[in-house]
Amino acid sequence: MTITTERTTTPACAEHDDLFQSPLLEEPALASSVELRRRQVLMTRKAESICLDCPLMVDCLYRAVAKHDVAGYCAGTTQRQRAEIRQHLGLRVDPEDFDTFAGANSGHQIDHDEVLRLRHARPNDSLESIAQRLGCSLSTVKRHLRKARRGEAVGRPAKLSSIVPTLEQVLNAYQQVVARARPSQPTRRAA
Ligand code: SF4
């Protein structure tokens, strides 16, 4: 497998948004029965396979580990696995900027209150139209609304801790946490 850090292609997750935006992938605790757990495992395997074949994998992993504590499944990792990777690195990233990662949007921060304001002001508008107004993904709007329903605080924009890991350090930690048993690992294409 060859992977680049170029961002010239559409993220593969955007073409599988039903999978990547599934609550079962975004919130593993929802798998409360054997059947749901089985589905969750199958979905996770499929998403992992897509990420491992994605040309943005390395860039996406670095961002999701070292720059922003994004929600849900991305870069072949669950949110919990990324937290473990940060533990290995001694890295602390403030939660939670779930708008800014390779597969989510163009990189700007979405105002949580603005999402709620638009939703309340235009209850008959589709979530897609809210996403268009805000210039973000449908997934981002859904996540903000889920957060609001659960009464969870939405964090400030993520900050780097004083440690700034190298890409190699992140990949090594990733391999330790996630990829020990995998036959293939993400590697950077030689320049
Ligand atoms: S989450 Fe990241 S690695 Fe996975 S498909 Fe999307 S852009 Fe690629």
Distance in Å, CA 2 to ligand 1 centroid: 14
The two three-digit tokens of residue 107, written as one number: 């990189």
Contact 45, 87 (CB under 8 A): no
Ligand 1 centroid – CA 53 distance (Å): 9
Burial of 56 by CB count in 10 Å (0-12 exposed, 13-18 middle, 19+ buried)? buried
Where along the chain do its domains lie?
3-94+166-181, 110-150
Q: What is the pTM for the complete model shown?
A: 0.64
Q: CA 167, CA 26: separation in Å to the nearest integer?
A: 25
H runs (alpha helix) in the chain: 17-20, 23-26, 34-52, 57-62, 79-89, 112-121, 127-134, 138-150, 167-177
Any ligand 1 atom below 6 A from CB of 58: no
Q: Which residues contact 53 (CB under 8 A, 6 or more apart)?
A: 1, 12
Return the top range by mean pLDDT from 22-31, 49-58, 148-157, 158-167.
49-58
Average pLDDT (3-18) is 67
Tell me the per-residue pLDDT of 84-118, one tens digit each, with 9 for 90 and over.
Answer: 999 999 888 865 544 444 444 444 566 777 778 88
Please tell me the distance from the alpha carbon of residue 58 to that of residue 3, in angstroms, as a whole number: 7
Q: Confirm or reject: Cβ of 12 under 6 Å from ligand 1.
A: yes
| Cβ(74) – ligand 1 distance below 6 Å | yes
Which residue bears the tokens 């849900």? 72
Question: How many angstroms is it from 123 CA to the middle of ligand 1?
Answer: 31
| CA 129 – ligand 1 centroid, Å | 24
The helix/strand/coil state of 114 is helix
> What pLDDT sits at residue 142?
76
Q: Which atom from ligand 1 is nearest to the alpha carbon of 47?
A: 4
Beta bridge partners of 50: none
User: What number is the average pLDDT over the span 122-151?
Assistant: 74
In angstroms, what is the span from residue 149 Cα to ligand 1's centroid? Answer: 27
Higher pLDDT, 142 or 9: 142
**Pocket of ligand 1 contains residue 57 by CB under 6 Å:** yes
